Amino acid sequence: MKNNLFNLIDLEKRRQASTVNLIASENYASSAVLAATGSVLTNKYAEGYPGRRYYGGCEIVDQVETYAIEAGKKLFKADHVNVQAHSGASANFAVYFSFLKLGDTVLGMSLTAGGHLTHGHHINFSGKFYNFIPYGVDQESERINYDQLEQLAQQHKPKMIVAGASAYARLMDYERLAKIAQSVNALLFVDMAHIAGLVAADIIPSPVPWADIVSSTTHKTLRGPRGGMIITKQALGATLDKSVMPGCQGGPLMHVIAAKAVAFDEARHPSFKTYANNVVTNAITMAKTFSDLGYRLVTGGTDTHLFLLDLRDTKNHGTLTGKDVEELLGKCGIIVNRNTVPFDTQSPLITSGIRMGTPALTTRGFGKKEVEQVAVWIDDIIRHRNDDNQLETITDNVKKLCEQFPIPTGTL
Ligand code: DSN
């Protein structure tokens, strides 16, 4: 069994090495992040917080967690940071549990507009426990409709407004969101999971000065271990910490907390700023290439690490769904995910769109030439999808490109 399992890990390593990864929420963690995640800190129980634990033997892990908290505060210029949330969804659960009562009214971006399941979708705990009112994007510009949001806030007087998205390529106006929240006495909660690395590198504006609470994952653009974190204004910190533990979680994952600290330090290195800048430049370049090839992009392009192709515009390819294209590209070694687009009539399992992001391939060292090439290959695969010879040639070329750009194993 053990051997089989390690064979599987080895196979996954090879899969990652030999495919082009365009999943906007994935990345390749450094060997220092992987080493901390795989360390003996996994053996330690440490329920509580530094200096206030329910177990003996916590004198070292206390220092680890304190280090991670301070590194997180420094990186995001934050008053208060909780590094114990196991994941982005757990972080959001803890935020709602801290500051809302069951049934409270909340505004959140709808899933088809680019929001996240935990922002009030009816099949998620958030939509079941709280009275979420969805807001969306403008039909024409496909950007957040702040006027509609303001009007919904005035009408429903929510306790909280949730901003942040999983599939929205544009910057958000945090100042306007904060003003709307203040006008109805609501808390502003921003989930910056997707963009945290770009915020850390100061490539795009930070929600931290504007929001009462900010949650994030640490493994997307931030390139750390799989996990969550929560930032609050000082006055909300004690309530939040109590909700995370003992409210929602038991023992913290000290090995992951150590890896978060490694990632926070890595993100303050000048080379991370270059990386984050390249992520956005690559996304803009790739989006423009698709646009030049005749594809329709949601909002016409991107300001961030991701963009969405709208496959409902059929002139390039006939009728194809997101599911079709995800599967087609996957066979040629290009990994993407199907995604709903604004006002999609397809289900989230089928979708009319494809989401693509550049964090992972930028870590690999892809630049302008390579991302343009990948976009052209994707177009070729779609256009020649019934020509096995063409698909075989592209698949070989994808493998060769991956060999030229191995996944870096070093630390920053
Ligand atoms: N599943 C993540 C994403 O891919 O965007 C969000 O949690």
- For 86-143, how does the pLDDT look when each residue is reduced to its tens digit (9 = 90+)? 999 999 999 999 999 999 999 999 998 999 999 999 999 999 999 999 999 999 999 9
331 part of a folded domain: yes
The residue among 205, 240, 267 that closes a domain is 267
Q: What is the DSSP letter of 247?
A: I
The residue among 267, 288, 311 that closes a domain is 267
What are 226-259's pLDDT values in tens digits?
999 999 999 999 999 999 999 999 999 999 999 9
Q: Do 157 and 41 have their domain in common?
A: yes
For residue 396, give the CATH number of its domain: 3.90.1150.10
Q: Do 355 and 260 have their domain in common?
A: no
Expressed in angstroms and rounded, the spacing between residue 166 Cα and the centre of ligand 1 is 6
Dihedral in degrees, nearest 10, Cα atoms 124, 128, 130, 134: 60
Q: Do 154 and 219 have their domain in common?
A: yes
Hey, which of 118, 192, 216, 220 would you mutate to test ligand 1's pocket, going by the most ligand atoms within 8 Å of its Cβ?
220
pLDDT of residue 313: 80
42 part of a folded domain: yes
Q: Do 260 and 316 have their domain in common?
A: no
158 part of a folded domain: yes
Share of the chain above pLDDT 90, in %: 96
What does the alpha-carbon distance between residue 274 and residue 367 come to, in Å, rounded to a whole number? Answer: 12
pLDDT of residue 2: 58
pLDDT surpassing 90 at residue 354: yes
197 lines ligand 1 (CB under 6 A): no
Q: Do 147 and 287 have their domain in common?
A: no
149 part of a folded domain: yes
Expressed in angstroms and rounded, the spacing between residue 227 Cα and the centre of ligand 1 is 12
What are 13-44's pLDDT values in tens digits?
999 999 999 999 999 999 999 999 999 999 99
110 lines ligand 1 (CB under 6 A): no
384 part of a folded domain: yes
What are 262-272's pLDDT values in tens digits?
999 999 999 99
pLDDT of residue 238: 98
Expressed in angstroms and rounded, the spacing between residue 165 Cα and the centre of ligand 1 is 9
Expressed in angstroms and rounded, the spacing between residue 167 Cα and the centre of ligand 1 is 9
Hey, which of 23, 194, 336 would you mutate to test ligand 1's pocket, going by the most ligand atoms within 8 Å of its Cβ?
194
54 part of a folded domain: yes
For residue 212, give the CATH number of its domain: 3.40.640.10
What are 358-403's pLDDT values in tens digits?
999 999 999 999 999 999 999 999 999 999 999 999 999 999 999 9
Identify the band that residue 317 occupies on the pLDDT scale cut at 50, 70 and 90.
confident
Q: DSSP string covering 107-150, please?
A: EEE-GGGT--GGGT-TTSHHHHHSEEEEE-B-TTT-SB-HHHHH
pLDDT of residue 1: 52
Burial class (CB in 10 A: 0-12, 13-18, 19+), 34: middle
88 lines ligand 1 (CB under 6 A): yes
Q: Do 257 and 305 have their domain in common?
A: no
pTM of the full structure: 0.97
- Structural domain that includes position 346: 20-28+270-404
Hey, which of 93, 116, 304, 337 would you mutate to test ligand 1's pocket, going by the most ligand atoms within 8 Å of its Cβ?
116
166 lines ligand 1 (CB under 6 A): yes
Q: Do 291 and 171 have their domain in common?
A: no
pLDDT of residue 409: 81
What does the alpha-carbon distance between residue 313 and residue 298 come to, in Å, rounded to a whole number? Answer: 11
Identify the band that residue 411 occupies on the pLDDT scale cut at 50, 70 and 90.
low
Q: Which atom of ligand 1 is nearest to the CA of 117?
A: 7
pLDDT surpassing 90 at residue 197: yes
Active-site residue list: 45, 47, 191, 217, 220, 226
What does the alpha-carbon distance between residue 125 and residue 134 come to, in Å, rounded to a whole number? Answer: 15
Q: Do 249 and 287 have their domain in common?
A: no
Q: Which atom of ligand 1 is nearest to the CA of 217?
A: 7
Contact status, residue 266 vs residue 223, Cβ threshold 8 Å: yes
Residue nearest to atom 6 of ligand 1 (CA): 166
Output the average pLDDT for the chain. Answer: 96
Q: Do 257 and 333 have their domain in common?
A: no
371 part of a folded domain: yes
Hey, which of 86, 126, 166 would you mutate to test ligand 1's pocket, going by the most ligand atoms within 8 Å of its Cβ?
166
Q: Do 301 and 210 have their domain in common?
A: no
What is the domain count for the chain?
Answer: 2
Q: Do 178 and 325 have their domain in common?
A: no
Residue nearest to atom 1 of ligand 1 (CA): 25
Q: What is the mean pLDDT of residues 156-164?
A: 98
Residue 54: C-alpha distances to residues 8, 49, 83, 251, 326 (Å): 37, 9, 18, 10, 47
The residue among 228, 247, 267 that closes a domain is 267
Residue nearest to atom 4 of ligand 1 (CA): 25
Expressed in angstroms and rounded, the spacing between residue 25 Cα and the centre of ligand 1 is 6
Q: What is the mean pLDDT of residues 62-77?
A: 98
25 lines ligand 1 (CB under 6 A): yes
Q: What is the mean pLDDT of residues 288-304?
A: 97
Expressed in angstroms and rounded, the spacing between residue 191 Cα and the centre of ligand 1 is 12
Q: Do 183 and 280 have their domain in common?
A: no
380 part of a folded domain: yes
Largest CA distance in the chain: 66
Contact status, residue 314 vs residue 326, Cβ threshold 8 Å: no
Q: Which one-letter amino acid corresponds to residue 384?
A: H
